[in-house]
Amino acid sequence: MSLKHSLTRSVIPATSLVIPAKAGGQHLTTCCLVRMATKVGIFLALTAMLLVACGDEVTEVTEVHETGMKIVEEGEKLPECTTENEGTMVYALDSAASYACINRKWTSFNGKDGADGKDGRDGKDGEDGAKGDKGDQGVKGDKGESGEKGDTGEAGTSCTMESLPDSSGFKVICGGDSVGIVLNGEKGEQGDKGEDGESEGCYLIDDGIGTVTLWCGPDGTVLYKAICGIKPYDPERQFCDTRDGKAYKYVTIGTQTWMAENLNYETANSLCYMDSCAKYGRYYTWADAMDSAAVFSDNAKGCGYDVECTIKTPARGICPEGWHIPDSTEWRTLYSVMGKSSNAMQAKGFDDWPDATDAYGFTALPAGGYMRSAFYDVGGYARFWSAAEFTEYDNHSADYWYLNAIGATLSFIDENFSISVRCLKDSAE
């Protein structure tokens, strides 16, 4: 029989309790005995409940012992536990502990600490505490290591410029999108002469390329006279072709004002000698020079090879605005003013023109010509288109002006030949 079973329903009769008195050897009264028995009974009941609750199982009570409990003053003076008093219970007053004789050994009912219970469920979040005092300032951290070098960025988008349809400036295009417009500057009016300043040797030098340099002591400041496209130019000696931002020199000979350079405006059919467009300008067929497609003017619309056409003069052709292709009469007038001297027309510095003087600044260049996939007479002959078609034999030829080392004249040539263009400024009339 287990101890748990013995204690579960134990009843202690009050009459069976014999409790020695501490003073005078007198026995305790019946009232006191009852109260003592009641306390012991409650204690035993609680002890039994504790043992039942802490056990792994709850065993149904099948036996009930009606056993009396002896009381001793000291737990160390328990009687001997033998088979004869097996199941006897004793209550020690000094320790308020109960003992039972089990297997010839006194066993205390004071239970040992039970095992730790399982963790409870998480409680609800507590409320925020009051704001604490400001902490002391932290210690400054060590300097961090240098970061790694970043990857190289992608290449930027290149930009180009396109001439505006009205030749007033250029459209700036970057990555296929228009980002702005740059207008050509106009020649300003001449300002009034300023009073002499009290400078320390300041003076201007004309650089001859559209700029002047203001020198004051050792420092110089470059000033632009005017801008053509993105380059400076000198309006007193040059004019600006606003279609492509190129500036050309010009010269007045008699009553005529001529370009002093060969035209270098690019068209679909024009070409250059050895990619040297800046030296000799471009080469054009007669139809290209006359602007037969009427891109800039309809004065020579439809003029071309094997086509008889009517030309309205002055015919602008592919010349800049305000200029035109000279006709045969205008070429003869120029030659007459020069004293009919081919040397006076020729640019200096070419081996085949040893007697060239360029007396009037016309500066004809020996660009030769181009025909049937080949260049001819480069360095020896200069040829320029005229705004006149030669129809005496057929509709295949046009007038042109040419000169070499020994002379100059007006002649005719196949319209498919590609030669130079010199433009003449429109008259003020």
DSSP string of 128-169, one letter each residue: PPPPPPPPPPPPPPPPPPPPPPPPPPPPPPPEEEEE-TTSSE
Structural domain boundaries of the chain? 3-108, 159-184+200-227, 237-425
Q: What is the pLDDT of residue 63?
A: 39
Q: Is the pLDDT of residue 172 over 50?
A: yes
Q: What is the pLDDT of residue 137?
A: 63
The Cα 192–Cα 14 span in angstroms is 142
**pTM for this model (two decimals):** 0.52
Q: Is the pLDDT of residue 57 over 50?
A: no
What b/e readout covers 80-92, taking b as 16+ CB neighbours within 10 angstroms? ebeeeeeebbbbb
Helices within 75-140 (DSSP H only): none
Q: Is the pLDDT of residue 44 over 90?
A: no
CB 110 within 8 A of CB 91: no
Q: Give pLDDT tens digits for 214-268.
A: 788 787 887 777 889 888 888 999 999 999 999 999 999 999 999 999 999 999 9
CA 230 to chain centre: 28
Q: Give pLDDT tens digits for 61-117.
A: 333 344 457 888 887 878 889 988 888 888 888 888 888 888 888 888 765 554 665
Q: Residue 33 — pLDDT band, cuts 50, 70, 90?
A: very low
Helices within 148-285 (DSSP H only): 277-280
Q: Give pLDDT tens digits for 381-417.
A: 999 999 998 877 777 899 999 999 999 999 999 999 9
Q: What are residue 258's DSSP bridge partners?
A: 251, 424
Q: Is the pLDDT of residue 162 over 50?
A: yes
Both structure tokens of 303: 């003029």
Check residues 158 and 49 and name the one with the higher pLDDT: 158
The Cα 137–Cα 341 span in angstroms is 98
SS3 110: coil
The Cα 140–Cα 162 span in angstroms is 59
